[in-house]
Chain A
């Protein structure tokens, strides 16, 4: 059985409608029910997506994360599942309007740009099981940090323009968003560091050099530096607030660029991810 990748359009649409419902909740005063329907819609999407990934995995294990599209799909699933799980307990429904569209975009990308996995033998290594999951989870964490940061910036703007009604009961406090940003970034940064370190060790194993300045490595380093800058600011100088949120936004743009542009380049060494 060969799963047509276009099936991913279904969860993608569920994510999109979920994202729109969460956004409606933010805009409309009377949209309380919208968030619940958004949660349901997103959950259905995540469930179908999970089933798809499971089938794909049983069919061809490396396919689920050995290509850019496969990884995008997996990241979207993990992000959606994690968000839908923590949305209610942490009262983070406001960031759904940023998280779910990201999941939609990634899933749609995976559906439209599906490439058959061609896994070279060099990749069949134990490093795979540390390097790839930690990198993927780092991206998931950064997606969360990005969503929290944009919500933080939006809420700050609304409060500044005295639009209290648009904020109260709809968005978490600035303080909570800031700590969400900080925690998810710390988590993501640690995972990214592990991913890059194992990547270097692995590279030494198969290519004979720790670091070769190939585009993916370079871009990852830039991403790493941006988030390191944020954490330095936050930890050493105790700085919070808008600047930090903007740094996270920049960092996440780097993640996207690393992932899509560099990952999509025809390059000998790191073509697959």
Chain B
């Protein structure tokens, strides 16, 4: 058995290439059904997200080598010469480890993000629907998802906040506690501000207030987020009630000044006020952050936190890779045990056939032998074959338990010529048996 994995990801290919390669679920199913028709392919799985397209294939035995880059060309329609620059291919254990690393988020653009787990699960489901998911890839997907889970519980790869919006959410939770009781004030509406607001709304808010230079835009946004539009000059008054302020106007000068905030802070009676200034140039005068119980964060400080979290996650990568190697090892040992039994049976059958053939030949040559003599010859050959073949098989079984069974298995298959088909020796026929026993 051979496992092949290949594809492109955000590191190997620019977005222009990736977007041409991306496959929607129906296309993936069609592609999988296409691929499985090839005689060399036993099982197949595609993983298509915005950052990667990958193809996992299990080669069926005894049918020649498979070229993965050709397969990818076939399913995506991107010519080989262009694709080969971006394509990476992994084989066997490395392929298994790659899927584990993908599932654990070690290979993601934002390290440790957890959507990838769901995407791997969906990919397996798609392949199942397409009918191209066999025992091998099912097991591989299982072990890869397990690797993802282990990476997230045993290491800190998913710790910390990996985006400005999630930093804002964490801070809001930490400062205001239960978000269902918080009043959020949005001043101006940049793109990031909306992302942050959406994230806060996930946590639940009591009320959303929106102030903008033009009331029209404020009303429009208010309609979108179920909030109330207010006039920009009312913000100080409103801030005595608000708990979270997100500011992102395009104004060239500060919109919220430190001095008027003195009255606001006093009126709030020490309730903490969480202010997020996403605007450049800044909307909130930096001195505002010096007031008691005001927690002011600008875009730089939020991004700083994101960078730190990502650096921290990167530090976890060696440990994650260890886990993935471990899972790949498990997969490989399992795959070896899967192939062990047929190989052992095949080897025994091959030896038995040889014995029968040679015995028959010898009996013919020797002319008349008594039944007792024939029986002795029979026993002799049997014992000889057993003595030669059982030792390697016992050792092979032991190696399979240790995890490098597949290597040995392949060597045995190679040395005994088990992959050659059709078998050079005809299977023993009952006639020949009878003939041999005849006096």
Contacts and interface: CB of A to CB of B under 8 A. Distances in A.
Nearest to B178: A175
Given A173-B175, A173-B177, A162 B270 contact: no
Interface string A21-42: 0000000011000000000000
Interface residues of A, number: 25
Given A162-B305, A240-B270, A168 B170 contact: yes
B106 interface: no
Interface stretch (B292-300, B352-360, B426-434): B292-300
Interface stretch (B6-14, B118-126, B129-137, B156-164): B156-164
Contact of A174 (B161, B170, B174): B174
Contacts of A175: 175-178, 272
A176 B304 CA distance: 27
Interface in A216-273: 237-244
B303 to A, nearest CB: 11
A239 B295 contact: no
Interface string A159-190: 11010110111010111100000000000000
Contacts of B160: 165, 168
Contacts of B292: 241-243
Interface residues of B, number: 28
Contact of B176 (A29, A30, A173, A244): A173
B269 interface: yes
B173 A164 contact: no
A29 B160 CA distance: 10
B156 A30 contact: yes
Interface in B244-296: 269-272, 289, 292-293, 295
A167 B309 CA distance: 13
Given A159-B295, A173-B175, A174-B177, A165 B272 contact: no
A174 B175 contact: yes
A160 B295 contact: yes
B116 interface: no
A242 B38 CA distance: 72
B293 to A, nearest CB: 4
B301 A162 contact: yes
Contact of A239 (B178, B269, B272, B301): B269
Nearest to B297: A162
B167 A240 contact: no
Given A29-B156, A162-B301, A165-B305, A241 B271 contact: yes
Nearest to A169: B159
B308 interface: yes
A242 B308 CA distance: 28
B270 A242 contact: yes
A224 B94 CA distance: 70
18 contacts: A155-B174, A156-B293, A159-B174, A159-B295, A160-B289, A162-B305, A164-B161, A164-B305, A168-B173, A169-B159, A173-B177, A174-B175, A174-B272, A175-B272, A239-B269, A241-B272, A242-B270, A243-B270
Given A169-B159, A241-B270, 4 more contacts: A29-B156, A165-B159, A173-B177, A175-B175
